[in-house]
Amino acid sequence: MTIPALPAPDTAWLETLDRPALHRSVSQRVESAFRLCRELHPGLPRPAVWLDLRGKCAGQAHFGRGGLRFNPLLLEENRLAFLVEVVPHEMAHWLVHHLEDGHRARPHGHEWQTVMRRLFGVEPRTTHRFDTQRASPTPYRYRCGCREHGFSARRHRLARRGQGYRCRHCAQTLVYLGCSAS
C-alpha cells in the first residue's frame, strides 16, 4: 500500500460542478500535482492545460505544445477517475520527460511507475475502463505538418503494421500522436 500524496477529492462536491468549474478543478489538480513534482525537480516547467482532446484518449502529455491535454467528454462522466488517476498519469509523463535522460525512458516504464507510486500514491495502470460509446468512430489522433487527423481502429492497425499514410494537403507522413491513457 502506498500513502496518497494528493488529497482525495470530495465526490459529492465533484458531482455538483458545472462545466467551467469542473475544468477549473482539473487545472487545480494539475497545479497540486505540479507542486509535488517541483519538490523533486525544482526546474520543472509548468505545463499548460487544454481540454481539447477527443476520441478514446482520456489524457495526453504533449511535449511539443508544452502541456497536458484532457478529454472534456470523458471528464464529464468520469470526474473522480480524472482527478485521481488521469491527471497524475499525465503529470508523471511530464515529469519523467523533463528528468535528465527522461525522454529516452519507455512511456510507462520503471521511471513513470515509480513517480506514480512514490510521488502520487497511485497504482500505475496504463488503461482506464471508461465508457467511450459517445466518442468518435475515428478516435486515433495523427498529426502531419498542418492539422490533426482522426483514424478508425482499422486504419490505425494498418498504420501500426507499417502502412504509411500521407496528408493530402501538406504531403507529410502522418505520425501517431499517441494516447497515454485510453
User: Which one of the listed residues 39, 76, 77, 90 is annotated catalytic?
Assistant: 90
With the C-alpha atoms ordered 39, 90, 23, 145, is the resulting torsion angle positive or negative?
A: positive
Length of the chain: 182
**Piece of 19-27, 78-86, 98-106, 167-175 that binds Zn ion (CB under 5 A):** 167-175
Q: What is the DSSP string of 66-109?
A: TEEEE-HHHHHH-HHHIIIIIHHHHHHHHHHHHSTTGGGS-TTS
- For the chain, counts of helices (H) and of strands (E): 7, 6
Cβ at position 148, least distance to Zn ion in Å: 9
182 near Zn ion (CB under 5 A) = no
Count of residues that interact with Zn ion, criterion CB under 5 A:
6
Cβ at position 147, least distance to Zn ion in Å: 5
174 near Zn ion (CB under 5 A) = no
Rule CB under 5 A: choose which of 169, 173, 175, 176 binds Zn ion: 169
Whole-number Å distance between alpha carbons of 169 and 139? 21
Given the complex with Zn ion, which of 46 and 143 has the nearer CB atom? 143
| Active site annotation includes 90 | yes
CB atoms within 10 A of CB 23: 17
Cβ at position 167, least distance to Zn ion in Å: 3
**Piece of 14-22, 25-33, 34-42, 141-149 that binds Zn ion (CB under 5 A):** 141-149
Q: Give me the residues that bind Zn ion (CB under 5 A), please.
A: 144, 146, 167, 169-170, 180
Catalytic residue numbers, as ranges:
90
